[in-house]
Structure 1
Amino acid sequence: MILFYEEDGNWKEAVLMGFKITIAGLGLMGASLAKALRGWRNAAICGVETNAAVLERALAEGVIDSGYVLDETNAEEALDADLVVIALYPRAALDFLRGCARRAKEGALWSDLTGIKGPLIEEARRSMPAGAEFLGAHPMAGRESSGYAASDGKLFTGCNFIITPHEKNSREALSLLREMAAYAGAARVIETTPEIHDRMIAYTSQMAHVLAAAILNSGLLFESKGFEGGSFRDLTRVGTLNPEMWSELFSMNAAPLGGVLAELEDNIAVLRRLVEAGDQSELAAALASSTRRKEEYLKTPYTAAKEAAR
């Protein structure tokens, strides 16, 4: 609830108790968001989980104010929220929308934290009732470990927070999600389409995880102890991944990811031919080109600011 009061001749906004947030999934992302949003709008935070032990811990630690293992007896109460954030694996997020979106209350905003947008937006168009909105979101934050125990209220500090509005989203919904992202610590909110999001995430995130998996599947891995340096560690850092979640992300983003992997294969094939031909001059030219592209990338206004802040 938002009221206005007069002070020194000026109208000011006062946010009172009554705003409710429900977060579906209290793993790394969902629990981190619950911690990060403590105090925002004086909101009551409700957690929805399949694991009762996680709910008990989150309640005991004050991360949430109420919690539910969702079923028909409590779904209406759990989902009677002004903001519902789905922090589940991609296929579970789709199932949650299919099964629960019809319960969205009038005026509610639903969102998500998943790394794939196209399928979720399509499902939301089918499932969300009139009077409620779905606005996709994807904070570019995470870590190698997962689960509630790995959650951190500062996880989103300094991150890029991507939102994917569509033609039916209101300015109020965009404003609310931007406000949430800022309170959670995001440095920048980026608005884009679901299609562009999925294509760019295939390039900036998913391809790196595929590459790490390919390197770690090499027959040389276990012979490499003692020979590895910083470059090997950098390339394989994301190789300790969650197989269930990442296989869902890859398969649900098959066309964009397949496209960037095909281009990667082409680029590697060019370099391989030059290596096998022993053509040092052409190799040097190819490496100079990639180095120059990295330098140009870093000089663009936004990336330059990001690099300077490190």
Structure 2
Amino acid sequence: MVPTIATSTGPVLVVGSGLLGASIGLGLRHLGVDVHVRDSSPTTEAVAQDIGAGRSVRAARAAHEEVPEPALVVVAAPPDVVAELVVEALAEHTDAVVLDIASVKGPILDAVRAAGADLTRYVGTHPMAGREKSGPVAARGELFTSMPWVICPGPETGARAVAAAKNLAVDLGATITVMEPVEHDETVALISHLPQVMSSLLASRLQETPPHHLSLAGQGLRDTTRIAGSDPGLWVQILSANARPVVASLHEVREDIDRLIATLENPEASGARLDIAQLMAEGNAGQARIPGKHGGAPRAFATLTVAVDDTPGQIARLLTEIGEIGVNLEDMRLEHSPGQPVGLVTASVEPSRHAELVDELQQRGWKVVQ
């Protein structure tokens, strides 16, 4: 892939060498782009250089090498320092386009505007990608492939800045969505920040739970608490910066919880069971609107569950054989039977291939749970 004009006509400086910053560096270096990385932590910056995400600014200066003037500066720092770093970059690199990739957009734009910086060369963006691991050692050049990358120009943003942001996203394989900053913040409050809060609140209920009770936990608890393992320090910054729309969503959730509590306090009352069913059905309706892997409206797939011995290589063998059969996996989930040396792989496939896949796997010796 040949990089587009925004990243091929001049060097790129990535400020912040954590997971996302280093992943951007890796992706651009793979395309042959000249990338320098800078981080407040010398160690993090050095690790980013060691993995190939770009040349360390510190190392270059220590070797008395010239650090070329960037055409594009990507600020990939924690949310609470992004605005300050954007303002610094605009002042230091007077011809460069500067963009940030923080998960909140409105407050950063307001702070940059209040500082009197040149907003024509600045645009806020948000790649909707990440991993449960953090730091440059977790970086992947393909992290953004097929993932949404939201671009949020303000009223003062120039066409050159918007084009640079779009080209960067395209270079890294992302799909572009353009939103106003306020619309973005309200959207991520519901689809990203609220799920984090709900997962953390649920997981917090488990702190005093006896271990032998937790041993009964199934995949439902694991699914709903998976993201509760996220970095608390980062989420303090995100929730503080986007508090208003998050609070609005929490008020709506509180109304539903109050409604359910009132119903369950008298479950034999007239209409109580109907109200419970209605609440569950509303959840069904909302969940059904989440797009499938191909985007757009979700599609209905057939599922099958295969019992897999909990030994090295078994899942890889199962996936290989499904590929040999010629069936495409639309989704897959793995869960373990507590205390048992077996795992359960639930696969989603096109309904027209379901029966064929079940028959083929059984013939190959796999135990398909119908």
TM-score by length of 1: 0.83
> 2:179 is matched with which residue?
192
SS at match of 2:296: helix
User: The residue matched to 2:13 in structure 1 has which SS?
Assistant: strand
Secondary structure at 1:50 match in 2: coil
Distance in 1 between residues matched to 2:53 and 2:300, nearest whole Å? 33
Q: How many residue pairs align between the two structures?
A: 291
Larger-Rg structure: 2
Alignment RMSD (CA, Å): 3.1
Distance 1:284 1:272 in 2: 14
Amino acid across the alignment from 2:169: A
Tell me which amino acid in the other structure corresponds to 2:20: M
Q: For 2:164 and 2:229, how far apart are their aligned partners in 1?
A: 35
Matched-pair contact (CA < 8 Å) for 2:121–2:160: no
Is 155-164 or 92-101 further displaced after alignment?
Answer: 92-101
Report the alpha carbon displacement of residue 271 of structure 1 after superposing the two structures with TM. 1.9
Tell me what 1:35 maps to.
26
Structure 1: runs of 5 or more not aligned: 1-12
Deviation by residue 1:171-195 (Cα, 9 ceiling, x = unmatched): 3322221121122121x21100110
Residues 21, 43 of structure 1: 8 Å contact kept: yes
Q: How does 1:44-123 map to 2 (within 5 A)?
A: 44-68=34-58, 80-106=69-95, 108-123=96-111
State TM-score, norm by structure 2.
0.70
8 Å CA contact 2:83–2:108 kept in 1: the answer is: yes
Q: SS at the partner of 1:135? A: strand
Q: Please tell me the residue identity of whatever aligns with 1:109.
A: V
Q: The residue matched to 2:214 in structure 1 has which SS?
A: coil
1:133 to 111, 121, 133: 121
- Judge conservation of contact 2:86–2:98 (CA < 8 Å) in 1: no
**8 Å Cα contact 2:125/2:151 also seen in 1:** yes
Q: Distance in 1 between matches of 2:69 and 2:115?
A: 16
Identical pairs, percent = 24
Amino acid at match of 1:93: V
Which of 12, 19, 24 is the matching residue for 2:15?
A: 24
Question: Secondary structure in 1 aligned to 2:44?
Answer: helix
Structure 2 residue runs of 5 or longer lacking an equivalent are 302-329, 332-370
Q: Which residue of 2 aligns with 1:176?
A: 164
Q: Distance in 1 between matches of 2:262 and 2:149?
A: 40
